[in-house]
Amino acid sequence: MGAVAAAAGSAVGLGNVWRFPYVVGEDGGAVFLLLYVIFTALISIPIMMTEFAIGRKTGLPVTSAFSKLAPGSKWGLIGVLGMLTAFLIISYYNIVSGWTLYYSVASVSGWLDSLSEPEVTDFFSSLSSDPFRCIIWMVIMLTATAVVVAQGVSGGIEKYSKILMPLLFILILVMVVRAMLLPGGLDGLAFFVKPDFSKLTTRTVFDALGQSFFSLSIGMGTMTTYGSYLRKTENISSTAIHVASIDFLVAFLSGAVIFPCVFAFGINPGEGPGLVFVTLPNIFNQMPFGRIFSSCFFLLLVVAALTSSVSLLEVVVAYFKQSFKMGRRRATILASVSCLFFGLCCSLSQAVFNIFDNVTANIMMPIGALLIVIFAVTRIKREDMRAELEKHGKPFRLFNLYYFLVRYVVPVVIGIIFINGIVAWLSK
Ligand code: PFF
């Protein structure tokens, strides 16, 4: 299994197609996009490389990698924080996966077929405000995730996703073309790519950093665990750049579909977590073979969500296995049942859902990322880090830049954004 494909399976998911557009919409459009690109290039890619390097160096998942490099210290808590973050994310992530699954069933059955624009909005509101249906579909997705993890067949599903994800990509490309041709579509594109700096707020910066971490699955050790599977011959820096580029492209294209539609159909870009679901059915209704496109799109998105959800549950299961000395199956059952409990809380309350979503991406992941880079520069010798990044046998020409970013830029930028963001958040 290619390292890039495996890590991209975790990175590309609902974060790209569901979360990215709704946060862009809430945070003023293109300014957010600009910050997102800058943070991904200068902050997130170096963090991903660091996580890969720590994982490969130790050959261990996040739950034990840090304590191996610093025995007897408290650094092992990075693993605990990562586990807690994964736990909270799964709890609400599977609700959105459940909505996606419901939309695939609705597409196949033709329920979405001839809905007018207000009916599309009502369709989503009636689903999201009905805890019973949300719970049923969430349980189906959580169970699917648990079955994959319990059987230890994540590699198998990633193999399928290697074929299916390019298909999703092609479908999104077709949708981009259709969306641009809608009347008013180009205004939507302008909102997405032409920055209006008057919309720049502390909140925009805070959210852009959080979204970049969330989308790339960094700051909680998932990528450390993937790093432990990387072969010696693999080039860590180019793997990280590839994964980040694929991830960015999917998010960017999703935005290039959503915003033209948002403007063409008079939807509020700041609609929130329902944005994708109240927007996309409208465009499928205007496409030839819309029902087939819609069914394929939502089904492929379910697969993308599943590979990400599996990588999240793996973090929790690895922790339970190690800490409570239990087998994979029992650990999976225990982890999933606990996630189910928190998932129920998110289904019953929109406020809890929003808090989990914000706290994990904007607070827990940046703290995790900060700890990981501080660990890397204080506990691993510079030359050892260089050796790990050059293990595949070729010099890493940008090593000095990488080290400068990780040592100074990443911690300072995360620190400043984080403190300002928390103050702004609390005073909202
Ligand atoms: N990156 C995933 C997405 O964009 O949907 C979400 C995610 C998966 C976050 C795994 C964190 C993680 F460890």
d(C-alpha 292, C-alpha 341), whole Å: 35
Give pLDDT, residue 422.
Answer: 82
Q: Is the pLDDT confidence value at 378 over 70?
A: yes
44 lines ligand 1 (CB under 6 A): no
H/E stretch holding 194 reads none
Token pair listed for 334: 């225990």
Question: What are the pLDDT digits (tens) for 147-167?
Answer: 999 988 777 777 888 889 999
For atom 12 of ligand 1, the residue with the nearest CA is 217
> Which range is least confidently modeled, 162-171, 273-282, 364-373?
162-171
The residue to mutate among 89, 307, 316, having the most atoms of ligand 1 within 8 angstroms of its beta carbon, is: 89
The domain spans of the chain are 2-426
Ligand 1 pocket test, candidate residues 87, 308, 316, 360, most atoms within 8 A of CB? 308
Q: What is the mean pLDDT of residues 353-361?
A: 95
Percentage of residues in the chain with pLDDT exceeding 90? 88
- Give per-residue pLDDT as tens, 104-118: 999 999 999 989 999
Q: Is the distance from the beta carbon of residue 179 to the nearest atom of ligand 1 less than 6 Å? A: no
190 pLDDT exceeds 90?
yes
Q: What percent of the chain has pLDDT over 70?
A: 100
User: What rounded mean pLDDT belongs to the chain?
Assistant: 94
User: Would you call 385 helix, strand, or coil by DSSP?
Assistant: helix
pLDDT at 61: 86
Atom of ligand 1 nearest to the CA of 221: 13
Atom of ligand 1 nearest to the CA of 222: 13
| Whole-structure pTM value | 0.96
pLDDT band at 1 (very low <50, low <70, confident <90, very high): low
Q: For 279-311, how does the pLDDT look when each residue is reduced to its tens digit (9 = 90+)? A: 999 999 988 999 999 999 999 999 999 999 999
365 Cα nearest atom in ligand 1: 11
- Cβ neighbours for 201, distance < 8 A, ≥ 6 positions apart: 27, 28, 424
Q: Greater confidence, 1 or 380?
A: 380
Cα–Cα distance measured from residue 227 to residue 222, given in angstroms and rounded to the nearest whole number: 9
- When pLDDT is averaged across residues 111-136 and rounded to a whole number, the result is 95
Binding site membership of 10 for ligand 1 (Cβ less than 6 Å): yes
Specify the pLDDT at position 83.
Answer: 94
Query: Residue 5: which pLDDT band, with cuts at 50, 70 and 90?
Result: confident
Compute, in angstroms, the gap from residue 116 CA to the centroid of ligand 1: 33
Given a contact cutoff of 8 angstroms between Cβ atoms, the answer to whether 204 and 33 are in contact is no
| Crossing angle for the helix pair 30-39 and 236-264, to the nearest 10 degrees | 170
* pLDDT tens track for 50-94: 999 999 999 988 888 999 999 989 999 999 999 999 999 999 999
**For residue 417, how far is its CA from the centre of ligand 1 (angstroms)?**
21
pLDDT confidence band for 322 (50 / 70 / 90): confident
Q: CA–CA distance from 317 to each of 61, 151, 332 (Å)?
A: 11, 12, 6
Q: Nearest residue CA, atom 9 of ligand 1?
A: 217
CA torsion through residues 260, 264, 269, 275, sign: negative
Residue 351 pLDDT level (bands cut at 50, 70, 90) = very high
Which residue's CA lies nearest to atom 4 of ligand 1? 15
pLDDT at residue 178 greater than cutoff 60: yes
Specify the fold of 2-426.
Amino acid/polyamine transporter I (1.20.1740)
